[in-house]
Amino acid sequence: MHYLISNQDNRELPLDADLSGKALRKETAEYYDECYWDYLLTWCNRDNLAYHYGYWDKSTPYQHHQALLNKNQVLYDAAGIKASDRVLDAGCGIGGSSIWMAKNYGNRATGMTVSGQQAIYGAQHAKRQGVGDLVDFEVADFCQMPFENESFDVVWALESSCYALNKGVFLKEAMRVLRKGGRVVVCDGFFTRREFNDEEWREVLTCLNGWAVPNLCLKDEFSGLLEQHGFHSPTMRDLTLQTMQSIDYMHSVAKRLRPMQKLGEWLGLRTKGQTANYWVGVAQHYLFTKNLTAYCIFTAQK
């Protein structure tokens, strides 16, 4: 059996690998820089700029790209965000959520990413979509935020908290930069247990390695972690069912592109990072359909 260890890097790494926070930030930035076009061509578009899973309400017919935008609305409503709230988009990617809330509600938002290239792309997209005056970007680690105490009303972490080696350090920093009464909203994948057999562990490692994620928190432990770091009134909503169509879509895209992936590998056109990212499309489907992973949204207040 194999066991997921909290606050440690559970990926398959060389024995001499640098396990420092600086090295992890560098690997995360390199992954997203290498896979920029993979995301833009196979997952998101220049309007939604979304690197996250979509949200599907079966009573309403819409396409994949609308489902990606729906996820922003789900988080916005869950956190009770108002137009006057100053929002920190912690782990912002190329700015999709920050730009969305600025365009739709007029919020001032700061996107934070460890990738300098993502910050450049984000600023370009914000200007192109007419909200360059409302959205700014910082290249920084959300476990060591460069902001003064009580700078924000909301800390927003959409599929980004998973990149923190120690989730508690991120929550401690979120607590510090939030104003009194501020809210944190975290939406991510969470493991449902720590113990895995050989087959399950192979798929777990494929996802962790492919997405440069050191570990995932357990679904049943995250509310306690929020309270442990000073937050109160935590809520949790399991969105796995509403996300499943997006999980299936990623799987179908991976299967459809497999011949191109194989050809690209053979011709030497795909980097190791891009190839690892491709295989996550298959492995993530296994983890969700086997109920090893749940997709949840947590909120809490300072």
- Looking at the structure of the chain, the number of domains it has is 1
Q: What is the pLDDT of residue 265?
A: 85
Q: The whole model's pTM is what?
A: 0.95
* 120 domain residue, yes or no: yes
Question: Which amino acid is located at 104 in the chain?
Answer: N
Distance of CA 262 to CAs 84, 136, 202, 283, Å? 49, 39, 20, 17
Q: What is the pLDDT of residue 60?
A: 67
Q: Is the pLDDT of residue 238 over 60?
A: yes
Using left for φ > 0, alpha for ψ between -120 and 50, and beta otherwise, residue 200 falls in alpha
Q: What is the pLDDT of residue 20?
A: 58
Cα(168)–Cα(22) distance, rounded to whole angstroms?
17
Q: What is the pLDDT of residue 182?
A: 98
Q: What is the pLDDT of residue 85?
A: 99
* 177 domain residue, yes or no: yes
* 97 domain residue, yes or no: yes
User: What is the rounded average pLDDT of the residues 171-190?
Assistant: 99
> Helix or strand or coil: residue 158?
strand
Task: List, for residues 5-28, the tens digit of each pLDDT value.
Answer: 888 888 876 544 455 567 778 889
The residue behind tokens 């782990």 is 91
Cα(278)–Cα(282) distance, rounded to whole angstroms?
8
* 135 domain residue, yes or no: yes
C-beta neighbour count of 77 within 10 angstroms: 10
Q: What is the pLDDT of residue 15?
A: 47
The least confident of 24-33, 197-206, 228-237, 280-289 is: 24-33
* 25 domain residue, yes or no: yes
- Per-residue pLDDT band for 256 (boundaries 50, 70, 90) equals very high
Tell me the CATH number at 59. Answer: 3.40.50.150
* 131 domain residue, yes or no: yes
H/E element, 188: strand 178-191
User: What is the rounded average pLDDT of the residues 254-258?
Assistant: 92
Quick one: what percent of the chain has pLDDT higher than 90?
A: 84
Domain span holding position 72: 18-191+215-246+294-301
User: What is the rounded average pLDDT of the residues 133-161?
Assistant: 98
Task: List, for residues 47-94, the tens digit of each pLDDT value.
Answer: 999 999 999 987 665 789 999 999 999 999 999 999 999 999 999 999
Cα(297)–Cα(295) distance, rounded to whole angstroms?
7
Q: What is the DSSP string of 239-275?
A: -HHHHHHHHHHHHHHHHHTHHHHHHHHHTT-S-HHHH
* 276 domain residue, yes or no: no
* 162 domain residue, yes or no: yes
DSSP state of 60: S
